[in-house]
Amino acid sequence: MTHVEATTSAFGRRTVTRAQIETQIAVKDARAAAQRRARGESMRDAGQGAPAAPPSAARLESAPGGAVHKWALLRILSEIREALNVSDRTLGVLSALASFHPETALTLDGEPLVVFPSNKALVLRANGMAEPTLRRHLAALVEAGLIIRRDSPNGKRFARPDAKGQGAQVFGFDLSPLVARAGEFEARLETLRAEQRRARFLKERVNLLRRDLAKRIAFAMDEGLAGPWDGMRLAFLRLCTPLRQVRDLAGLAALAEQLDALQEEAARALEAAVRAPRPLQPESLQIPIGNAAQNERHNTESNPHQIPDPEPIADSDGGEVEPSCTTPRLSGKASPAQDPPRELPLALVLEACPDIRDYHFSGEKLEDWRGFIALAATVRPMLGISPDAWREAVASLGERSTAVAIAFILQRCEHASGATRHVGQDGRITVTVDGAPAIRSPGGYLRALAEKSRNEPFSLWSAILGQRGRARRASGAKSAR
């Protein structure tokens, strides 16, 4: 049956775009190729005396104009929709349009692939979508080159039959671009899957390098090995960018390359330090430290005259409270006038201090206190906190509270994700985190908390609630901008 090709200019004030012209050219070329292939197959079948095989609808054909399974194609489009710049609701409208064509296998060498549902029928197929929203998604499909609008002179959609009662002229939405561009969509899907595999490999590589570096640097610093470990620690902290903030493959590859270089440097320094003979410490600097939980005694260097940096702790109203000031107390026994404070929920701590999640390199979900405490112990050397300071804090605050303090210090230190550097008129650089001063000496801050707890035990509720309030206000200010 012959049919008259409908016009492709839109009804009303809609203009023609370059994308529409390119789509029409692609459909024209694909239809011509399909016709040539059909003529060649007819001639070959006539010579062999075998009937022509029906087009396969089980998969997409890579040849232009080949038969395409429309539902398989829609699944492909759902995977590459971001590359096509269409939303999931736009593809839902395309699925509704495709459902009006009676055939599952779409070809360009047969009847025209034009569907002409009314807006009312299309709304019902689109799960009751509002008509203005429907029109917007139809325009997006046309702009993306997935359909062609073939409007009648008055903008109505219908099929005009010929003398034999068959449709000779059809006005509506042409699905031919889906068939014409099927090969392109398959190629895009393969490219996307290759990029996803590459990204997955790079993320695994980054996590493995971070885990290895964290443990090597921690070992070297805890053992007091010679080497530029403090510089490596700072370089490692700068490379602990959350993977969710790395948007493309190039960024992931660059991060993995920097971690590889730091890994090689750490391996060389660690090998040199282990091979070198370890000097004996003078007796005057060997200070025994007892631990009730261990039978061994540790020797370490300590400066009894070191003054910790008294960084302020935020109260629940966002104000600042010095570590030596009065804060909510944890008393050994409950008094009638004051109930004992509740333990901090882990979910609240992670909400207020989310940066510690970025050091959980296993990729598993952080769900219990045991894993959280182990993670805090891993982060501890990255902040430059000595094992002695950790043990003193555990003895005074307890293991859970010490881990919470580590997460809080990480969230408020100069390397936090919310840290902002300001340069004053005198050239002095100050660092703030969510509008509050950054903690400059993590080790001194933890020692100050331990010392205060020994004199008068206190709770970290106020610090965590205050940090959560500051983070929420900072997030709201960014959203407003």
pLDDT, position 253: 93
140: enclosing H helix or E strand: helix 131-143
Nearest-angstrom CA–CA distance, 404 and 417: 18
pLDDT, position 124: 92
Residue 145 region, left (φ>0) first, then alpha (ψ -120 to 50), else beta? Answer: left
Tokens found for residue 481: 């901008």
Residue ranges per domain, the chain?
18-180, 199-274, 312-480
The list of the chain residues with pLDDT below 70 reads 1-16, 18-20, 22-24, 27-28, 30-31, 33-66, 162-168, 278-342, 363, 457, 475-481
Nearest CA to 379 among 401, 400, 407?
407
pLDDT, position 452: 85
> Taking the model in full, what pTM does it have?
0.62
- Give the CA radius of gyration of the chain: 34
Cβ-proximal residues to 281 (8 Å cutoff; 6+ apart), any chain? 299, 301
- Torsion angles phi and psi, residue 422, rounded to 5: -120, 135
- Burial readout 44-79 (b: 16 or more C-beta within 10 A, e: otherwise): eeeeeeeeeeeeebeebbeebbbbbbbeebeebbee
Tokens found for residue 259: 């971690």
Helix axes 182-223, 249-275, angle to 10 degrees: 20
Residues 241-300 pLDDT 10s: 777 778 788 999 999 999 999 999 999 999 998 888 766 555 544 444 444 444 444 444
pLDDT, position 264: 94
